[in-house]
Amino acid sequence: MNLLKKIIFLDIDGTLTNDNGVIPESAALAVRKARENGHLVFICTGRSRNIIFPDILEVGFDGIIGAAGGYIEIGDNILFHEQIKKENIQQLVKFFDTHEIDFLLESNQGTFSSKKAKQRMLSVIERHLLDKPDFKEAIEKGFMPFYEMLIEGEDLIREDINKIVFFGSDDFPFERIAQEFESTFTIIPNTVSAFRKNGGELSILGINKSTAIMKVIEHFNISKEHTFAYGDSLNDLEMLEFVHHGIAMGNAHESVKKVADEVTDSHDENGIYNSFKKYGLI
């Protein structure tokens, strides 16, 4: 192993992609140049495998950490995949249905929508378009694929679920949902700016991006001192604290900036490219 080889982990939403869901060309260029220089570059995202769309994969990566650490793919091989227990999904579906909370169940086979969640997703996109009419083409490219692939009408009590996204309700506080599921799930507030308050994500308790990164560097026998990670949201906290160089984007949540070793520029200000250049990765 070349001792100069580094391994880099990149969040997608708000890090690799901007607020319109589009990858700045400078970020794609940075990834390609870093790999040409012999470094390994991994996606490290909360997204499940089926919603890491072709325009992202076409940039070129050495592997994928998905579902907030619940899934690891290296080349054609799956190194790790843990799914949520069926009884926990049953508890969740019953609770959300009772309180009329719209939600999405993410699996590698598809994303399954509760009765009104697909319409809610479309409403989110339409509101985003109204707020940013000058970015219509970019927003449709970045967000419409999420809406188009949602599956309605399927049985929601499933054994293949990686993660759950729930939409905010003005009438039901996030804290009440967190209290209900704190013993069975890791729960974080919604980190996508286009969604309203009180929404969030539920993933497997005890698994996060840092636990997956540990498995990846053990697989490659790369020491922790050669690790970099870039993120912007609350599910990036453990990742940025774990790696040797934890770097927050300029657009990151304030709590993320506080735990990071450094803050780079925002996604649209060439933050990834500038940081890769600074550390000699490109």
**Could you give the domains of the chain?**
7-82+207-278 (3.40.50.1000), 86-204 (3.30.1240.10)
**pLDDT of residue 189 exceeding 50:** yes
The DSSP 8-state label assigned to residue 69 in this structure reads G
Confidence band, pLDDT 50/70/90 cuts, at residue 155: very high
Q: Rounded to two decimals, what is the model's pTM?
A: 0.92
pLDDT score at 234? 93
Q: Are 43 and 58 in contact (CB under 8 A)?
A: no
Amino acid at 76: D
In percent, the amount of the chain with pLDDT more than 70 equals 97
pLDDT score at 191? 63
The DSSP 8-state label assigned to residue 196 in this structure reads P
Q: How many CB atoms lie within 10 A of CB 133?
A: 8
Angle made by CA atoms 42, 269, 35, in degrees to the nearest 5 = 30
Per residue in 254-272, pLDDT (tens digit) is: 999 999 999 999 999 999 9
pLDDT score at 195? 58
Q: Are 236 and 68 in contact (CB under 8 A)?
A: no
Confidence band, pLDDT 50/70/90 cuts, at residue 118: very high
Specify the DSSP element, H or E, that contains 119. helix 117-131
Q: What is the mean pLDDT of residues 17-27?
A: 94
Q: Are 111 and 150 in contact (CB under 8 A)?
A: yes
Q: Are 56 and 12 in contact (CB under 8 A)?
A: yes
With 0-12 / 13-18 / 19 or more C-beta atoms within 10 angstroms meaning exposed / middle / buried, residue 280 is: exposed
Confidence band, pLDDT 50/70/90 cuts, at residue 142: confident
pLDDT score at 185? 96
Q: Which residues contact 222 (CB under 8 A, 6 or more apart)?
A: 1, 5, 7, 40
Distance CA 104, CA 66 (A): 16
Rg (CA), the chain: 18
Q: Are 26 and 85 in contact (CB under 8 A)?
A: no
The DSSP 8-state label assigned to residue 14 in this structure reads T
Tokens of 132: 């940013």
Distance CA 146, CA 161 (A): 17
Chain-wide mean pLDDT for the chain?
Answer: 93
Nearest CA to 278 out of 260, 264, 259 is that of 264
Per residue in 71-102, pLDDT (tens digit) is: 999 999 999 999 999 999 999 999 999 999 99
Tokens of 205: 């308790």
